[in-house]
Amino acid sequence: MAPFAEAHSRRVLLLVFIEGDDLASQNMRSTFDDAEVNKLLDIMSCVPIRLRANSNACRQFTLVYPVTAIPSTFFISSRGNLEASIVGFTDPVLFGDRLAALIAVVQRQEG
pLDDT digits (tens, 9 = 90+) for 10-46: 888 899 999 999 999 999 999 999 999 999 888 888 8
CATH of the domain at 98: 3.40.30.10
Residue-wise DSSP of 13-52:
-EEEEEE-SSHHHHHHHHHHH-HHHHHHHHHTT-EEEEEE
Number of domains in the chain: 1
Q: How confident is the model over 81-90, as pLDDT tens digits? A: 999 999 999 9
- What residue numbers bound the domain in which 77 lies? 2-110
Q: Which residues, in sequence order, are bridge partners of residue 52?
A: 19
